[in-house]
């Protein structure tokens, strides 16, 4: 395929004020209410058992969001393309129904949806029998994208990025939104780094994360204490908000606090930072917080995550941006 077409499409995505990031539990969706289409859907694929089927299920609207609906698919060649596929989430009726939200539906050519795209999803399902996969479906638009009489915009193409979590292998596939004339294997493309490769940007200022409070060796007789986060040459921004990059040196993200080395972000730099008991997210862009810990000794470390909690990589060595680990003690 013509790689320049893919690059043109990628550069033509319009990020508008109408985009919302919505966490549906089993998948996350970035939805553009002006286009009435998702622009990205991400999810983990694990070896879930098939316990229920889709018979009788139909797509439904969520009253909280302005989305496409049945009229956008009436008497035309466009299928309701599941971006987080039903086949991956048929372990329960609740999960399966969750995939039938119009938030998860894109206008996809019927021959693509029922053909090579479906076969690629079957391959993903097979791969997940051996290891966990993290998948991103990028839905692409440009100035030539068709706008239906019903006002929904038809995507120009789709890219599926697949990260094999344990083996750290990546596979990426791009499809024009039309009847395919090649097998899905022929649609494999080079995986482009979402983070810009900044190793050549020698003029960028060094970034840093650190604790203002407490200091290393802090000892407290009270279980409650204040932490303050410091950063250098980093624009702190909330989760779910995509900011335009002012230049190649701009680094944005929000704080995560790892307690007692409970999560190794260096080994998991290609997947979102999880929500866990000792992994605290400050997705509102907070730079301070009140903590309460039981008596004992603890380690604390800050990690920078982007709008979808992916570890933000440094400009110098493409490793996650983290603070030094500090040690504190809460006295009994």
Q: How far apart are CA 73 and CA 76, in angstroms?
A: 6
Q: How far apart are CA 39 and CA 92, in angstroms?
A: 26
Do 234 and 149 fall within a single domain? no
pLDDT value, residue 250:
78
Q: How far apart are CA 41 and CA 138, in angstroms?
A: 7
Structural domain range at position 128: 3-189
Do 220 and 169 fall within a single domain? no
Contact by Cβ (8 Å): 196, 248: yes
Residue keyed to tokens 């070896």: 47
- Is the residue at 38 inside a domain? yes
- State which of 159, 189, 219 marks the end of a domain: 189
- Is the residue at 304 inside a domain? yes
- Is the residue at 196 inside a domain? no
Both tokens of 208, joined, read: 């840093």
15-33 pLDDT per residue, tens? 444 578 888 889 999 898 8
- Is the residue at 20 inside a domain? yes
Please choose, from the candidates 229, 237, 236, 205, the residue with its C-alpha nearest in 3D space to the C-alpha of residue 315. Answer: 205
Do 167 and 214 fall within a single domain? no
Question: Which pTM does this prediction carry?
Answer: 0.58
Do 154 and 216 fall within a single domain? no
Query: What is the β-pairing status of strands 235-236 and 252-259?
Result: parallel
Do 222 and 309 fall within a single domain? yes
Please report which helix (H) or strand (E) contains residue 116, including its range. Answer: helix 116-127
Q: How far apart are CA 33 and CA 35, in angstroms?
A: 5
Strand partners, 231: 209
- Is the residue at 198 inside a domain? no
Please choose, from the candidates 315, 322, 317, 318, the residue with its C-alpha nearest in 3D space to the C-alpha of residue 205. Answer: 315
pLDDT value, residue 20:
80
Please report which helix (H) or strand (E) contains residue 137, including its range. Answer: strand 133-140
The CATH number assigned to the domain holding 307 equals: 2.60.40.10
Do 30 and 125 fall within a single domain? yes
Q: How far apart are CA 9 and CA 276, in angstroms?
A: 37
pLDDT value, residue 316:
62
- Is the residue at 197 inside a domain? no
Return the SS3 of 4. Answer: helix
Both tokens of 126, joined, read: 């097979």
Longest CA–CA span in the chain (Å) reads 71
Do 52 and 184 fall within a single domain? yes
Please choose, from the candidates 2, 40, 13, the residue with its C-alpha nearest in 3D space to the C-alpha of residue 174. Answer: 2
pLDDT value, residue 315:
64
- State which of 126, 159, 189 marks the end of a domain: 189
- State which of 160, 189, 218 marks the end of a domain: 189
pLDDT value, residue 12:
40
- Is the residue at 18 inside a domain? yes
pLDDT tens for each residue of the chain, 332 residues long = 444 444 344 434 444 445 788 888 899 998 988 899 999 999 999 999 999 999 889 999 988 889 999 999 999 999 999 999 999 999 999 999 999 999 999 999 999 999 999 999 999 999 999 999 999 999 998 888 999 999 999 999 999 999 999 999 999 999 999 999 999 999 999 887 543 322 333 457 778 899 999 999 999 999 999 999 998 888 888 888 776 555 667 788 999 999 999 999 988 888 999 988 899 999 988 999 999 999 999 999 999 999 889 999 886 666 899 999 999 999 99
The CATH number assigned to the domain holding 151 equals: 3.40.570.10
Look at the chain and report how many structural domains it folds into. 2
Do 236 and 92 fall within a single domain? no
How many alpha carbons lie under 13 Å from residue 234 in its C-beta half-sphere? Answer: 29
Do 145 and 87 fall within a single domain? yes
- Is the residue at 194 inside a domain? no
């Amino acid at each position: 395929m013509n790689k320049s077409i893919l690059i043109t499409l990628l550069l033509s995505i319009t990020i508008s004020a109408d985009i919302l990031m919505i966490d549906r539990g089993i998948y996350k969706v970035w939805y553009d209410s002006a286009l009435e289409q998702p622009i990205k859907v991400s999810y983990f694929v694990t070896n879930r058992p098939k316990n229920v089927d889709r018979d009788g299920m139909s797509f439904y609207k969520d009253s909280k969001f302005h989305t496409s609906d049945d009229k956008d698919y009436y008497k035309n060649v466009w299928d309701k393309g599941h971006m987080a596929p039903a086949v991956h989430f048929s372990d329960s009726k609740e999960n399966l129904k969750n995939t039938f939200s119009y938030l998860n539906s894109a206008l996809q050519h019927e021959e693509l949806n029922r053909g090579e795209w479906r076969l690629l999803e079957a391959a993903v399902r097979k791969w997940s029998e051996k290891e966990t996969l993290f998948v991103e479906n990028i839905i692409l638009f440009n100035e030539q994208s068709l706008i239906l009489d019903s006002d929904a915009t038809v995507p120009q193409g789709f890219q599926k990025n697949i990260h094999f979590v344990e083996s750290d292998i990546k596979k990426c596939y791009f499809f024009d939104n039309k009847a395919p004339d090649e097998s899905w294997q022929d649609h494999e493309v080079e995986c482009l780094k979402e983070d810009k490769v900044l190793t050549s940007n020698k003029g960028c200022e060094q970034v840093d994360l650190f604790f203002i409070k407490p200091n290393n060796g802090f000892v407290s007789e009270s279980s409650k204490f204040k932490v303050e986060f410091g950063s250098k040459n980093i624009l702190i921004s909330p989760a779910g908000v995509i900011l335009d990059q002012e230049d190649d040196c701009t680094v944005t993200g929000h704080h995560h606090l790892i307690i007692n080395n409970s999560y190794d972000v260096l080994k998991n730099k290609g997947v979102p930072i999880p929500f866990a008991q000792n992994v605290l997210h400050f997705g509102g862009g907070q730079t301070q917080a009140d903590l309460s810990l039981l008596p004992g000794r603890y380690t604390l470390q800050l990690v920078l995550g982007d709008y979808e909690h992916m570890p933000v990589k440094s400009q110098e060595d493409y490793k996650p941006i983290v603070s030094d680990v500090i040690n504190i003690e809460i006295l009994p």
